[in-house]
Structure 1
Amino acid sequence: MIPPGGTIGIMGGGQLGRMLAIAAANLGYRTHIFAPGMSGPATEVAARWTHSNYDDSAAVASFASQVDVVTYEFENVDVAALPAHNCVFPPAQALEVAQDRLTEKTFVAQLGGRPAPFVKVDSLDDLRAALRDLGAPAILKTRRFGYDGKGQARIEDPARASAAWLSIGQKPAVLEGMVRFDQEFSIILCRGMDGNVVRWDAVENQHRDGILDLSIAPSSGLVLEQAAEAGALAERIAEALGYVGVLACEFFATSEGPVFNEMAPRVHNSGHWTIEGAVTSQFENHIRAICGLPLGSTALVGQRVEMRNLLGADAEQWPTILADPTNHLHLYGKSGQRPDRKMGHVTKVFL
């Protein structure tokens, strides 16, 4: 157990690191950010910051020697960059599984999960053969380093195979068969060092251009019927990985039951609503877990909670957002306004 007053090392300097650092401060911990960028949302609220590349082994070793526990805020960190440190949570194995879509889907299927139909693709010939097996439409996804719709190509016509292959950079990939679904949802849980698991309400997610737009808890419709089965799978995943911390698993609610989409071994965008909408947020429980503290209640504090992402120029609407006194506004302190850049989020709790 790491008592308050200790230092938590966070690899990554984005908004998730920022919210982790705020939660850590509320529990009496200091945070030390390790990130290659010149600045970032997390560095603005942390006690210390190491500015260095993840492959700088000397810098990583020095960073690790100055903290009591290491965690990370995004799954695209190089596993080899993680410090040789006994207190790295979630464990490196979780990163290794989540970073490779083929490994992830195979792993989940072995645990009794139901991923979308998929075929390994290493060449254009593989892609053409996979399209004959799965049919079109289908989605070609790079095995590694894809998020928010990046590294993906939707194939409506097998004749477009070559263009799709070029569009993802001819990288190792998987072809996924299209899934007919009614709703998309997330299961977010937290597992402590003692193996205790808590779960928040299943949250329904609505996307815009491949990026999360709105999360709603509690969910409705098929999600309510399928949340228990999906939650049980998420717990089996956490158990198999010896997991410590927050784990998010995304699903499609279909007529045949929940279909596994992907996992994120970290706090997750679809759990931002928990800051105001649950007794204990995903960020606080992640800090509790990695420090060996008892986990907090995940119960809702209202009848319904909605969280909406603010992308690009959406954040300029802050005066209008704050004009509604029931809105909770979170701005991440980012500069630049790419249309798809997450600048903040707003949460409303319906009592």
Structure 2
Amino acid sequence: MSLRPGSTIGIIGGGQLGRMMAMAAARIGYRCHIFDPHESPCAAEVSGAFTRAAFDDREALRRFGEQCDVVTYEFENVPVAPLDVLDGKIRPGTRSLEIAQDRAVEKHFIERTGANVAPWREVNEVGDVRTALEQLGSPILLKTRRLGYDGKGQAWVHRAEEAEAAWETINSQPAVAEARMTFEAEFSVVLARTADGETCAFPLTRNEHHGGILRESIVPAGAPVSDLEPDAIEMARAIADALDHVGVLTVEFFACSGRAVVNEIAPRVHNSGHWTIEGARTSQFEQHLRAILGLPLGDPGLVASGATMENLIGRDVDGWAELVAEPGAALHLYNKGEARPGRKMGHVTRLR
């Protein structure tokens, strides 16, 4: 059943993804209600309502849910158990959250769908770091099982003597150890899935990271990524189907010697899909809304020959005046306050 314009969409999380989702919702006639523990989340200023409460506040979540016709989320690191008070209104479902919140669980799950993943091991103590180094070869990348993102909660290990320091770097948290992949490119599949199982993928996006943070996304992705498109989309579709996911799902890949290898998944709209706002006939944000509202999926095709999205990180945002004056540059500022190092403050998209 489709929800009519005028319905209220609840968004758990008030960051820039929620902000852009709320802006897309307003354009097609829907109202958004933000749920976030911060005093002034940037998504709240473009939404019709805002509830300030902790993500694990069941009573606040219950009242929030009563005011919404459907509920979604803009990031995956929210407690799952309290969401049961939302009375089945949440899309994507909590299974997508549970899988994506734990890297070891996620990797086991992806392997069961038949998709390729990099060689890896579970790490629960410092001795496991040394064992993983022996089994996977040098170097290995430690990643905390939970909460790490944009390069946080990670440490490289090249020799057994570094195990202790690396373990301390990730605060002795349960982790996964991944073999270093030799790859020609990093890319992502941003795919939408409806409750009926219909799927629709955007053109593959090539991604450039610096310091573990996405710096630039480019479409079309070009070789060698373009050669991997059928396999990558099929893997992303298999993952979405296995999750019974409703909404946008992002799967990040390595292009490795003619193979698409899954790096990780995000059960939501994604930074690498921001180019779609100007560069696609339907943005990733509207596509996500269409899926969770029961509307037909939109056309994901390019409106030009290509697009490049550049993140504005930290003090990059100080160049806003030049960017807003640049012909053909579509500037997005998130109004997040302090421009701390590594903080995503906005982005700019250029069509070509």
TM-score after normalising by structure 2: 0.98
Q: Where does structure 1 lack aligned partners over 5 or more consecutive residues?
A: none
Equivalent positions of 1:2-41 (< 5 A) are 2-41=3-42
Residue in 2 that maps onto 1:188: 190
Residue in 1 that maps onto 2:43: 42
Q: Secondary structure at the match of 1:299?
A: coil
CA distance in 1, matches of 2:96, 2:272: 19
Please list the CA deviations of residues 36-68 of structure 1 after superposition, one character each: whole Å capped at 9, or x if unmatched. Answer: 001111011010000000111110100001100
CA distance in 2, matches of 1:84, 1:315: 37
CA distance in 1, matches of 2:111, 2:323: 43
Superposition deviation, residue 227 in structure 1 = 1.6
- Is 1:222–2:224 an aligned residue pair? yes
Please list the CA deviations of residues 278-298 of structure 1 after superposition, one character each: whole Å capped at 9, or x if unmatched. Answer: 000000011111110011000
CA distance in 1, matches of 2:303, 2:3: 29
CA distance in 1, matches of 2:158, 2:276: 38
CA distance in 2, matches of 1:81, 1:181: 40
- The answer (yes or no) to whether the contact 1:222–1:254 under 8 Å persists in 2 is no
Q: Secondary structure at the match of 1:44?
A: helix
- Is 1:89–2:91 an aligned residue pair? yes
Counterpart residue identity of residue 325, structure 2: A
Moved over 6 A (4+): none
- The answer (yes or no) to whether the contact 2:206–2:225 under 8 Å persists in 1 is yes
CA distance in 2, matches of 1:179, 1:189: 24
- Is 1:209–2:211 an aligned residue pair? yes
CA distance in 1, matches of 2:158, 2:40: 41
Please list the CA deviations of residues 226-284 of structure 1 after superposition, one character each: whole Å capped at 9, or x if unmatched. Answer: 12101100000111111110000000001040111000000000000000000000000
- The answer (yes or no) to whether the contact 1:75–1:264 under 8 Å persists in 2 is yes
Q: Secondary structure at the match of 1:317?
A: helix
Residue in 2 that maps onto 1:61: 62
Superposition deviation, residue 160 in structure 1 = 0.2
Residue in 1 that maps onto 2:72: 71
Superposition deviation, residue 323 in structure 1 = 2.3
The number of residues matched between the two structures is 350
Q: 2:335 aligns with which of 308, 333, 336?
A: 333
**Aligned-residue identity in percent:** 51
CA distance in 2, matches of 1:132, 1:305: 43
Counterpart residue identity of residue 320, structure 2: W
CA distance in 1, matches of 2:279, 2:288: 16
Superposition deviation, residue 114 in structure 1 = 1.1
CA distance in 1, matches of 2:54, 2:108: 31
Superposition deviation, residue 187 in structure 1 = 0.4
Residue in 1 that maps onto 2:125: 123
CA distance in 2, matches of 1:262, 1:85: 29
| Aligned-residue CA RMSD (Å) | 0.8
- The answer (yes or no) to whether the contact 1:280–1:297 under 8 Å persists in 2 is yes
Residue in 1 that maps onto 2:255: 253
Counterpart residue identity of residue 228, structure 1: P
Please list the CA deviations of residues 96-120 of structure 1 after superposition, one character each: whole Å capped at 9, or x if unmatched. Answer: 1111111111111111111111001
CA distance in 2, matches of 1:28, 1:194: 23
Please list the CA deviations of residues 159-200 of structure 1 after superposition, one character each: whole Å capped at 9, or x if unmatched. Answer: 100000011010111110000000000000001122111110
Q: 1:320 aligns with which of 319, 322, 326?
A: 322
